[in-house]
Structure 1
Amino acid sequence: MRTTITAVRLRALAALCVALIAALAATATARAGEFGLEPDSFTASLSTAQAGGHPDVNVRFTLRNAAVDPSDPYYGMVRFKPFGIAESVVVDLPPGLVGDPTAAPRCPASAFPRCDLATQIGTVRLRTGLADEMWSPVFNVVPSQGAPAEFGFTAAGLLTVRLQVEVRSGGDYGLRTIIDSLPAIAPLIENDLTFWGVPADPSHDAMRGRACADLFGMGVNCGDEEGGNAATTPRAPFMTNATVCGPQPPVTLAVSEYANPGRPATAEAALPPLTGCDRLAFPATGRARATAPQAGAPSGYEVELTVPQNTDPDGIATPQLRQAVVQLPAGTVVSPAVADGLATCSDAQLALGAAGPVACPAASKIGEVSIDSPLLTQPLVGGVFLADPTPAQLLRLVLVAERDGVRLKLPGRIDADPVSGRLTATFDENPQLPFRSLRLTLKGGQRAVLANSRQCGPAESRFELTPYGGGAAAVSTDAFEVAGPCPAGFAPTLSAGSASAAAGAASPFTLTFGRGDGDDLLRSIDVALPAGVMPRIGEVPRCAEAQTVTGTCGEQSRVGSAQASAGPGAQPFGLPGRVYVAGAYRGAPYSLVIVVPAQAGPFDLGTVVVRAAVFVDLHTAALRIVSDPLPTILKGIPLQIRSVRIAIDRAGFMVNPTSCAPRAVGAAIAAAGGAVANASVRYQAAGCGSLPYTPRLRVVVGGRGRTAPRKPTALTATLVQPAGQAASRSVRLELPKAINARLEIVRRACSQAAYDAGSCGAAARIGSGAAVTSLLRDPLRGPAFFVRNPARALPDIVVQLRGDVAIDLIGKVTIRGGQLTTTFDTIPDVPLSRFSLTLPASSSPVGVASSGLCTRAARNARARQTLRAQNGKLVQRAAKLSIAGCKK
């Protein structure tokens, strides 16, 4: 068997006629009309229209030409001449019609054009200005650097042509064949090129090795030794039809001439409609694995799609993958921690829809991709890039893989279930190029893109892979085991305290609560602050109700900052925010509005607004802060909040207690699963002994017409105190014997139940009170009632102070040895600058003794006062009563 193309006779003849060729070329290219294609000369055909079959593909065209005039001196040697010299030929095949250059051996570049016949993958017949007919094998040649495939042929030693093959990257990814720099010495008139469906098939033996030419009209024909060679390699499919039945896109042709390369002659040729899609088989499967399969942990993920290729030359090729839908296991979610330092790539940087390289920032690359295609000797490799979000699609991926001049850009989307966060990836309208496997690896580590399910056990992925050709999708599942330790229980942490422990001083207050990776998710918190930790709420304008909903409160209402961390692993993502004061909410007089813009790296998940009701204890004025439920998922991204830090740090806003007794910050922290954990942190102010305590209590009795013996008298007690002192803890006032108790008033007291129900009548009302504190803008005012207490013989005086907040001051009443004593021993640790209790004569429980108030004895009578501060300091004095209504 011959293994090389010799054509000795033709090459010798060519060597002898070089000068003549140049002259003939000049004559043959003389213009007699416009350069272009002969009408209807461009045709394309397939030897079989079976979808996925392996056809011989023929492309033929003729350039416009004219017969040489018989009077021409070279007539007979040159019978036709073209209207221009063709420089390049570009043929675009429709998508899906592909050739596999690995199906036949490749001719080394150093050997071309003397190639082994085992590398022949087709044949070409040419007509030029020098030859009516030129035949040559088309060889599979080792491609130039950066090219996926290259073919070549030579004819009569005059034409040596290389056909470069490209993939229309960024477009429909069909094949393009390019011939550049055609030899001008033998101007092309007609081209008839055939690629064999199965090069080693015996049906091609007659044309295997055929190389001959009819030069100069001399009638040199192919001899018996031309062609007729058997294949020496196994049969393997080279050309493969698309797998979409019905009409196909046309084959397109563009031929440019040297004289005017910018205006190519173009044409289209129809291929026959493909049939037999019902015979296609698509055994595709999918596989997904976590690289670190620990429950709840951030992890890299490997996803692999496998499409076994049918390489039987007598069979039908596996259809290409049109759409891939991959649903990751339930519980596998986007990890918020990935957002730290993450970037996205714009469509312009990705050059989507174009063949150019990507120019994405390194921080937008979140993984690697490898595609093993039978058309290439090595896999295409590249990266997984996170694309800019759009209003309609938050998560967009683009796979970019390249090798040997082929660059694939596969855009996809990730849809996250808005309730569960379960992820579904969809890559649609993929290129009609075959591949054996596509492997995608998303980065791992603490900044991994994904986090595993928090539940141990099987984690199942679902794959729905739809082929071109209209066949049913191949549905498969794959599972791996999520390993322990598995999240169990709920043991949250709590820390809290004032930045400065100085008693009575203004100091920022900070509270932080959180959970570990092994804990259930956080839901809400109910915090009890120590008595005496109070805000100067009257100094801050409230955020308007409409703005609390949108989180657009003004800076004038801001009282602090917030910091939330979200995501699993050792490096959760931080989300800063702000804290504002607002008005009444859920039955509380005040509320906090915590506003956290959820800007997770390049993603805007919206603004998180969590409101917390601020209750004030009716008796101690201690604050209780009850939050609304924390958000768990935003736009399908589960937050997995790890910790929340609230710092109330507006200058001068928070005030420390004036008591240094050990106290605690307590909290009930609720989990998403319903568990509630109680936690507390010790709290104690310092330096209380340095606080002064100099209150003044003035008691006024009498009044016009109210000083006579046995007359009821009014009584007003006023307590004043300078700022910056320890607050009062208890005040005890023992009236002198000159003042008697009016038992009939005592008997008119209402029950505790009636008081709690707000139904104490006028008979039980004995007066009114008022309190002024620097913490509030307006004084607290309200009536005073006698309220029976089952634990004591005499009713209590309950001063119902109301305003921005509600406080009940309770005074315990005793009568011993005829003396009336009232003790307020549960006064809140609040800086009061003034407190007054007024008991009008008509309803006062006190009356004038038998001798009257204007006597010397009554004037000299003394009321014993015992006042104790929150820091323990004691003031005792016996002060004269101030008597009104006596004549001077």
Structure 2
Amino acid sequence: MVGSKLRFRVLCSLLAVCPLVSAMGAAPVLARVDVTAVGATFSSLQAGGAPDFGLTIDLSSNPASDDPKDLVITLPQGLVANPLAAQRCPIDAFNADACPAASRVGTTSVVAQIEAPLGPQVTASGDVYNLVPPAGEPARLGVVVRPPLASPQRYQVAVRLRGDRGFVIENSMSGLERTAGGLPIRIQRIQLNLTGQVAGKPFLRMPTACRRAEIAVAVRSWDEPQVTTSRATAFTPSGCERLPFRPRLSGVMGAPGATKLRSHVPVTASVISDPSDAAVAATTVTLPLALGVDLGSLQKLCQPDQFAADACPADTRVGRARLASPLLEQPLELPVYIVQRPGELPALGFRLFGGAILGRTRLGGAVTNVFEGLPDLPLSRFDLTVDGGPRGLLQAVSDLCTPRTRRDAQATFAAFTGVDVTVATPFAVDGCPAGAGAPVARTRYRIVEGLAVSRLGRAVLTLRVSASRPLGRATLALPREVAPLRGSRPIVRVDGRRLGRRALVLRGRKLELRITRPGRTIEVRWAGLRASRALAGAVARGRRAPLTVRLAVVEASGERRAFTLRVRARKL
């Protein structure tokens, strides 16, 4: 404000209009600062990569007496920095401009006009540091600007992961200076540069979805702080097909004294992933057939408005979630509630970074939980535990400790890259008494499926089945929205060996694979397919409704397994 008043007095004295303005009682002119341009650069657009990142912000003031005060930079979901990849600078060291070199994660430059007769345009450079954040904050950055012939200016950037806004990352910097070295200045450009790697460790991570992403910049001024102006720029990551996706499923059910028929059973399902892989966008987990829902436990439900307000009653809590990420010093521990869904079955839900993750429940032989809208964040492990005890949600529909207990669970994971992976694995049982028979060993499966559809209706199905034991036969049924072209045959390989035409028997939409030499991997690429007009149109419009592909396999031992695969069609 001091600089604003000084400039106003100088202007009035030069034009000799102050008395006239005062006498006329002219209405005040609303001051504001505009974001005139925003530009973003990346050294690489590889999805999930760690590129160097530059952001340029151009500003203008109207009238020129106003100055920028607060800056908010909103990064899209998935464009995150790892505060644990670099050394953290204590706040006291930052305020003394004494941060260690190992905490430096970028640079900055500010272009400003000195507001004085014949005042020059000056450029001040500086550095960006990784700071020790206050309690409750995931990260904090420190920006030091060093104007020529003036004292350094220091700004702290508060970082918030906004689950209530689609898991975008909000970076706020407040109190931008209006003077430097005692002279009024007008900031015209701010340049921020962040390094992709620090000491060989990834610091930045690109989104793992190859779709348009937006970076928004908003500014408020000193004289009119209630007015916000903003501008955005966009970019699109690429190379999703090069990003691996290798999620795994494990689980345990039961506890001492909680394994018998109709016991309330604690159950933990765990998803393990490599943080450098594509993130999981959605997951569908089907629990073992030995488990069912105790309908009596659904008498007390958290209502939708209570869940949205993070105010679920304590007696609607049914478990806990534990989330581990390389971005976090300690795993997050989150309460899980059973929540009413109008017109649907009650579902499990939890709150994450201010956002709501609410699943869907399906019953029909087995209990299935579906979670969609998961954030594009690097995770190493996610555990979801449903408690047992008198108010437990799940109960045993058979004795869990018999050798023939149906312990197989199945999960389908959808990646942000568009890849779908289905895994099947037996859950362990805890709490069986001494002398209980060992469970029958079961085969573990990993299935990667994909369906690409062109605008004209051409479709290509890919499937890779990996099993821990040899497979002797398989049958694949296409979804009703897809049909084979006349005379088309897929390319099928078993352990790398291509099957001949006589080993492929096609009847309508069903393909039978007659495998003479059993193998642990089956690969299918079926290019001669035609999609329905409705499906081709939906995919062209960007809709990715899942389709049902059915797979039945017979192991070399004679054991039979059946899978219902949910495949999301993507653009070819």
What is the TM-score of this pair, normalised by structure 2? 0.64
State how 1:531-546 maps to structure 2 within 5 Å: none
Deviation at 1:180, TM superposition (A): 1.6
Q: 2:50 aligns with which of 50, 54, 59?
A: 54
- The alpha carbon displacement at 1:378 in A equals 1.6
Residues 151, 164 of structure 1: 8 Å contact kept = yes
Aligned residue for 2:293? 334
Deviation of residue 65 (structure 1)? 5.0
SS at structure 2 position matched to 1:298: coil
| Distance in 2, Cα, partners of 1:359 & 1:26 | 51
Distance 2:351 2:382 in 1: 12
Describe the shift of the 1:90–1:431 C-alpha distance in structure 2 as closer, same or farther (beyond 3 A).
same
Q: Distance in 1 between matches of 2:189 and 2:411?
A: 50
Alpha carbons 2:338, 2:347 under 8 Å: kept: yes
1:97 aligns with 2:91: no
Greater CA deviation, 57-66 or 280-289? 57-66
Equivalent position SS for 1:37: strand
Specify which of 33, 36, 40 is matched with residue 36 of structure 1.
33
Which AA in structure 1 matches 2:50? H
* Residue aligning to 2:218: 254
Code of the residue aligned with 1:383 in structure 2: it is P
Quote how far apart the aligned CAs of 1:400 are. 2.3
1:249 offset after TM fit, Å? Answer: 2.6
Please say if residues 460 and 480 of structure 1, whose CA atoms lie closer than 8 Å, have aligned partners that are also in contact: no
Partner of 2:190: 191
Counterpart Cα distance in 1 of 2:35 and 2:249: 51
Q: Deviations over 1:769-821 (max 9, x none)?
A: xxxxxxxxxxxxxxxxxxxxxxxxxxxxxxxxxxxxxxxxxxxxxxxxxxxxx
Compared CA separation, residues 91 and 294, structure 1 to 2 (3 A): same
Structure number with the higher strand fraction is 2
What amino acid is aligned across from residue 446 of structure 1 in structure 2?
Answer: P
* Paired amino acid for 1:377: E
CA gap of 1:197–1:140, structure 2 versus 1, over 3 A, is same
Do structure 1's residue 127 and structure 2's residue 111 form an aligned pair?
yes
Equivalent residue, structure 2, for 1:475: 423
- CA 34–387 in structure 1, closer or farther in 2 if over 3 Å, else same: same
SS of residue in 1 equivalent to 2:328:
coil
Q: Counterpart in 1 of 2:70?
A: 88
Does the residue aligned with 2:166 lie in a helix, a strand or coil? coil
Where does residue 158 of structure 2 map in the other structure? 164
Rounded Cα–Cα distance in structure 2 between residues aligned with 1:453 and 1:145: 45
Matched residue SS, 1:286: strand
Tell me what 2:408 maps to.
460
List per-residue Cα deviations over 1:533-571 (Å, max 9, x = no partner): xxxxxxxxxxxxxxxxxxxxxxxxxxxxxxxxxxxxxxx
In structure 2, the partner of 1:155 is 145
Partner of 2:274: 308
CA contact (8 A) 1:82 1:188 kept: no
2:166 touches 2:355 (CA, 8 Å); kept in 1?
Answer: no
Q: 1:126 to 1:478 in 2, by over 3 A?
A: farther
SS in 1 for 2:93: coil
1:238 pairs with one of 203, 206, 213 = 203
Aligned-residue identity in percent: 24
Structure 1's 26 and 106: CA in aligned 2 closer, same or farther, altered over 3 A? farther
SS in 1 for 2:179: coil
Q: What code does the residue aligned with 1:189 have?
A: Q
1:350 is aligned to: 307
* CA shift in 2, pair 1:153/1:453, >3 Å: same
| Aligned equivalent of 1:398 | 349
Structure 1 residue 23: Cα displacement: 6.4
The AA in structure 1 aligned to 2:169 is L
1:197-212 matched pairs, under 5 angstroms? 197-198=196-197, 200=198
Aligned-residue offset at 1:38: 5.7
The equivalent of 1:275 in structure 2 is: 238
Question: Which residue matches 2:559?
Answer: none
The offset of 1:83, in angstroms, is 4.9
**1:321 counterpart (267, 280, 299):** 280
- The residue aligned with 1:117 is 101
Separation in structure 1 between the aligned mates of residue 6 and residue 38 of structure 2, nearest angstrom: 26
1:424 pairs with one of 346, 368, 374: 368
Provide the secondary structure at the position in 1 that maps to 2:319: strand
Contact 2:58 2:190 survives alignment (8 Å)? yes
Q: Deviations over 1:311-348 (max 9, x none)?
A: xxxxxxx1111111111001300123424xx5222222
The whole-number CA distance in structure 1 between the counterparts of 2:392 and 2:145 is 59
> Which residue identity is paired with 2:323?
I
Compute the displacement of 1:28 (Å): 9.3
Give SS of 1:110's match.
helix
Contact between 1:29 and 1:83, CA under 8 Å: does it hold in 2?
A: no
Structure 1 stretch displaced more, 138-147 or 126-135: 126-135
Using the TM superposition, give the Cα deviation of residue 142 of structure 1 relative to its aligned residue in structure 2, in angstroms. 0.5
Alignment of 1:214-233 (within 5 A): none
Q: Structure 2 vs 1, CA of residues 100 and 115 (structure 1 numbering), >3 Å: closer, same or farther?
A: same
Q: Residues 136-147 of structure 1 correspond to what in structure 2 (within 5 A)?
A: 136-147=126-137
Paired residues, number:
393
- The within-5 A match list for 1:444-843 is 444-455=388-399, 456-457=402-403, 458=405, 459-481=407-429, 483=432
Summarize the Cα distance change of 1:145–1:256 in structure 2 as closer, same or farther, 3 Å threshold. Answer: same
CA drift at 1:147: 1.3
Matches within 5 A, 1:11-30: 26-27=6-7
* 2:305 counterpart SS class: helix
Give unmatched runs, 5+ long, in structure 1: 1-20, 67-80, 201-233, 311-317, 352-356, 487-888
Report the aligned-residue RMSD. Answer: 2.7
Residue 30 to residue 53, structure 1, CA distance change in 2 (3 Å): farther
Q: 1:63 aligns with which of 59, 62, 73?
A: 59
1:443 aligns with 2:402: no
SS in 1 for 2:193: strand
TM value normalised by structure 1: 0.42
How many angstroms apart in 2 are the aligned matches of 1:243 and 1:33? 43
